[in-house]
Amino acid sequence: MRRLVLSLLLLLGACSPVWLLNATVPFGAMRAETGIAYGPLARQKLDIYRPATQTGPAPMVVFFYGGNWRTGERGHYRFIASVLTRRGVVVVIPDYREYPEAAFPGFVEDGAAATAWAAAHAAEYGADPRAIYLAGHSAGAHIALMLALNPAYLARAGYDRGRLAGAIGLAGPYDFVPAEYPDVQPVFAPAADQRQTQPVTFADAGAPRMLLATGTGDTTVMPRNTRSLAAAVTAAGGQVQARYYPEVAHAGILMAITPLFRRRAPVLADVMAFIGR
């Protein structure tokens, strides 16, 4: 059945995997406010999604999308908001400056500014300021975990890292050498010390609790990134849960969140259990 649905979507002219994922989820159960500025620049905007019906303050997830720090738009990830709002979560999806407009640490600084804005306005959108989670996929997971592990970024944006309820990384690159990847090297070239670009460098006991998940079939961002960061955080005395989904590929970990592919891996169940704690 899943193959049939995908074939029909492709015949209709869908060329983007993200378009396909958006086509598989309903959007009627949420309220959206889009294009909200969290800074003065064109890419410093975010969308906020709320459950259609809500009783009491909800947890908030600030989700950073991937795209090799070069591509991506917040509107393409409405499927994330649809799935989470149906489970009572307020979802914030920011854009951030991408290369070549900005290199490291510009996109991390944008992530910090978006997080600080979301926290300051959480109550206005029905969210609990004490239950704010950072999350991301791929390059977005790198941003989320840099913010969770290096408190300086959020502090400069006016937010205390200690107020975060948790961080969720899906198939993130946390421990790699940028110079070894020609397409990534210029993105991180401004950093005099390349170790300062890696979340694993900042593993410490003061970080918020973490859920790190990846697929064993991921050949884009190798699972060793998750293993390395989980081991470093554990060694430092931090709280981390690591999940490895058999044979799931890089995009597959996001696909498994949607209803059509949910049987592939319990990604959504693990995320909601983590937030529920």
Provide the greatest CA pair distance for the chain.
51
State the Cα–Cα distance between residues 21 and 16, nearest whole angstrom: 9
Tokens of 224: 């060793």
Is residue 11 in a domain? no
Is residue 6 in a domain? no
Is residue 72 in a domain? yes
pLDDT at 24: 60
Is residue 10 in a domain? no
The 10 Å Cβ neighbour count of residue 124 is 8
We report the CATH number of the domain holding residue 62 as 3.40.50.1820
- Strand-pair category, 45-51 with 90-94: antiparallel
- Residue 270: alpha-carbon gap to chain centroid: 15
Is residue 119 in a domain? yes
pLDDT at 27: 58
Is residue 218 in a domain? yes
Q: What is the tally of structural domains in the chain? A: 1
pLDDT at 56: 83
Is residue 205 in a domain? yes
**Length of the chain as a residue count:** 277
- Give the HSE-up count for residue 249: Cα atoms under 13 Å, Cβ half-sphere: 6
Average pLDDT of the chain, as a whole number:
92
State the Cα–Cα distance between residues 99 and 255, nearest whole angstrom: 26
The residues that bridge with 169 in the sheet, in sequence order, are 136, 212
Is residue 76 in a domain? yes
- Confidence band, pLDDT 50/70/90 cuts, at residue 262: very high
Digit-coded pLDDT (tens) for 119-175: 999 999 999 999 999 999 999 999 999 999 999 999 999 999 999 999 999 999 999
| pTM, to two decimals | 0.92
- Select from 154, 138, 175, 166 the least CA-distant residue to 105: 154
Residue-number span of the structural domain to which 266 is assigned? 17-276
- Select from 150, 139, 134 the least CA-distant residue to 199: 150
